[in-house]
Amino acid sequence: MLPLCISHGDLVKLFVIALLATTALAVASLFVGVSEISFFALLSGESNEKMLLVLGESRIPRTAALILAGAGMAVAGTIMQLLSRNRFVEPSTAGTVESASLGMLAVLLLAPDLPVMMKMLVAALFALAGTALFLGILRRVPLRSPVLVPLVGLMLGGVINACTTFFAYRYDLMQAMGAWTSGDFSAVLRGRYEVLWLALALTAAAYFAADRFTVAGMGKDFSTNLGLDYRKVVALGLLIVSMVTASVVVTAGILPFIGLIVPNLVSMAMGDRLRHTLPWVALSGAVLVLLCDTIGRVINAPYEIPVGSMLGIIGSIFFLSMLLRRRSRAA
């Protein structure tokens, strides 16, 4: 927890420092990989054409994609937790991700030649429907324990996933599906990740609506009392969450648990006043994904461990410890 004596000005300074550190990390990540690229060779002008090609076509896009996806998923998780008023909810525990991936399969089956942007929109539509279904279930089935909420989401995700797998088997698309069900940035190349900039635009939109999301997070009655159209804010939130999720699933695949880990840590440290915390959420999301990806590239070189797997491990440990902490507090 941050000491309370930290003033707003100090917090801004701290943020700038964190931003610089992230940039350094991002630059460092450019030089990690199978084909050797040396920072000093680049600086001294001794770089060869191959290096520049790898850098421009693969490394820079990859790092950019990691940052955009990480920031976007973390912000999406924050919005979902406020709107569902539950700390355990994020796109991969609410059926959002699974619906997006069902959407991807539908595109692959019915219109495989669609441009990436259209694929993303179809996936977003599926994600929107899936998440709305999840929230609808929550409204209709009042759950006594907040822990049950993500379980409902995981079950819903499981059912949707089963449908996806069924069709993928039938039409022999299991292998193609593998590409986006495990979050993996090794295939990110120039020209194949740009849809993620849309995620950035949506994250910025979320920042402009930050106060509205915070008020909505206080609940429907508080929102109504303060003159906020609760349903509109929920709709806006759902739109942002599904578009961000879909653009990440389309380009890199599923990145589980960022939307759970980052928002919870930031909320514990600084609360939920999104106008103040959202930049930290975005930055921490980017850092977490960058770190996982870089470690995944180094730990077992020359092979890579996909970010999705790294996040899966870290995230499930975090999720479990959250559950256990709750139980020990309730006991």
Partner 1 sequence: MIEFSGVTKVYGSTTVVDDVTAQLPKGGITSIIGPNGAGKSTLLSMIARLIPCDRGTVLVDGLDVARTSGETLARRLSILRQDNHMTARLTVHDLVAFGRYPYSRGRITADDQAHIGRALGYLGLNDLGDRFLDELSGGQRQRAFVAMVLCQDTDYMLFDEPLNNLDIRHAVGMMKLLGNAARDFGKTVVVVLHDVNFASCYSNHIIVMRDGKLFLQGSPREIIRSETLEQTYGCPFEVQELGGNRIAVYYT
Interface contacts to partner 1, rule CB under 8 A = 4, 82, 85-87, 210-212, 214-215, 217-219, 221-222, 224-229, 267-268, 271-273, 275
Q: Are 213 and 82 in contact (CB under 8 A)?
A: yes
Residue 267: CB minimum distance to partner 1, A: 5
Residue 12: CB minimum distance to partner 1, A: 17
Give Cα separations from 108 to 114, 194, 257, 283, 308 (angstroms).
9, 20, 26, 33, 22
Cβ closer to partner 1: 79 or 177? 79
Residue 130: CB minimum distance to partner 1, A: 23
Residue 212: CB minimum distance to partner 1, A: 8
Cβ closer to partner 1: 207 or 318? 207
Cβ closer to partner 1: 56 or 271? 271
**Residue with tokens 């960058």, as numbered in its chain:** 290
Q: Are 236 and 209 in contact (CB under 8 A)?
A: yes
Cβ closer to partner 1: 192 or 326? 326
- The one-letter amino acid code at 39 reads F
* Rg of the chain in Å (alpha carbons): 20
The SS3 call for residue 273 is coil
Cβ closer to partner 1: 93 or 214? 214
CA 244 from chain centre, in angstroms, equals: 7
Cβ closer to partner 1: 57 or 229? 229
Q: Are 57 and 122 in contact (CB under 8 A)?
A: no
Residues 6 or more apart whose CB falls under 8 angstroms from that of 147 comprise 88, 323, 326
Q: Are 109 and 284 in contact (CB under 8 A)?
A: no
